[in-house]
Structure 1
Amino acid sequence: MARAFAADDGTEPVERRLLAELYNCDGFLPEFSLVAEDHGTVVGHVISTRGWIDGAPALGLGPIAVEPDRQRSGIGAALLAETRQRAESAGESVILLLGSTDYYPRFGYRPASESGIKAPDPAWGAHFMALPLNELPPTGTFTYAGPFGRL
């Protein structure tokens, strides 16, 4: 899946190391971390980890990846929809992510600041997005699982 994040200069994507650390951290949530397969071949995945908004639990989504030759085929949308369904069923209050303002709003994600949630880095601006799963998600500053702090 590293091809989904590959840089033109051939350097190893930071997401590859980050994923390895996330799968081994205390915040890893296997029930919200999904793999999409096509005839036994992995074509996409998403990982979710426990984050915190001023002490209240929240779900941090990402990285999410789809094989480059399978992008724009609905795999990413299906991973996001299944994550949302599982999070709602589990009583999670909000899903947060850092991503494209052109892509994620079509799935209901809005700038987190609109919900009173501050990014760990204010420079992220509108790219730090939230999907509230109930009417009153917690407010305050979001903290990702430990490995994100080492980026």
Structure 2
Amino acid sequence: MTELSLQIRTEQPIDSEAIERLHERAFGPGRFARTASRLREGVPHLLDLSFTAMVGTLLVGSVRLTPVMAGDEPALVLGPLTVEPAFESRGIGAALMRRSLEAAKAKGHTLVLLVGDEPYYSRFGFKRIPPQHLQLPGPVNPGRFLALELEEGALARAKGLVSTIFDMSQ
């Protein structure tokens, strides 16, 4: 098999429709019912911290970071991380993860949260959030609620309910 000519680039506004179609293919209609999806609802993700994977002109992957409050601590929620099913297991998701986390750290962000598979995300430094330390606004398997400190001590400062910045202004 030949090597992919993969380009990771910052998400552009014109990518939105292709990304939504990718999410639909990868996650199906049930994606909107998930707690992590509901947390991001109505809140714009940060384009400068969100990236796409391109093979030629074909968008084959996407990762987004959305600002939230983790109690009184500013944080980011990572997701969805999506790779076109036909392009899975080729390192595209890992490349997107590394790029988004490097960009978040470079811009001074201190904490990234996500709901996902610990065996996959632990290789990037994500760890389970201690029980009752943070709560999402809906049901989630506590073994899938993970955090990555980009600054030591950020998770210790984050206690309570995770909410969107949009929710905080109401």
Root-mean-square deviation (CA, aligned residues, Å) is: 2.8
**How far apart, CA to CA, are the structure 1 residues paired with 2:53 and 2:141?**
29
Out of 134-143 and 87-96, give the one that drifted further: 134-143
Aligned length, in residue pairs: 138
Q: Using a 3 Å threshold, how does the CA distance of structure 1 residues 49 and 136 change in structure 2: closer, same or farther?
A: same
Give the equivalent residue in structure 1 for 2:141.
124
Equivalent residue letter for 1:93: T
| Aligned mate of 1:134, from 140, 143, 151 | 151
Q: Match of 2:26, SS?
A: helix
Matched, 1:4 2:22: no
**How far apart, CA to CA, are the structure 1 residues paired with 2:73 and 2:163?**
12
Q: Deviations over 1:59-118 (max 9, x none)?
A: 11111100111111011001110111001101111110000122111111100228x841
The gaps in structure 1 that reach 5 residues or longer are: 7-11
Contact 1:50 1:144 in 2 (8 A): no
Contact 1:88 1:133 in 2 (8 A): yes
Larger radius of gyration: 2
Identity %: 30
Give the equivalent residue in structure 1 for 2:126.
109
Matched, 1:60 2:77: yes
In the TM superposition, what is the alpha-carbon distance from 1:123 to its structure 2 partner? 4.5
Q: Match of 2:130, SS?
A: helix
Task: Give TM-score, length-normalised by structure 2.
Answer: 0.71
Equivalent residue letter for 1:33: S
Give the equivalent residue in structure 2 for 1:84.
101
The gaps in structure 2 that reach 5 residues or longer are: 1-21
In the TM superposition, what is the alpha-carbon distance from 1:38 to its structure 2 partner? 0.5
- Structure 1 segments of 4 or more deviating over 6 A? none
**How far apart, CA to CA, are the structure 1 residues paired with 2:103 and 2:45?**
15
In the TM superposition, what is the alpha-carbon distance from 1:136 to its structure 2 partner? 1.0
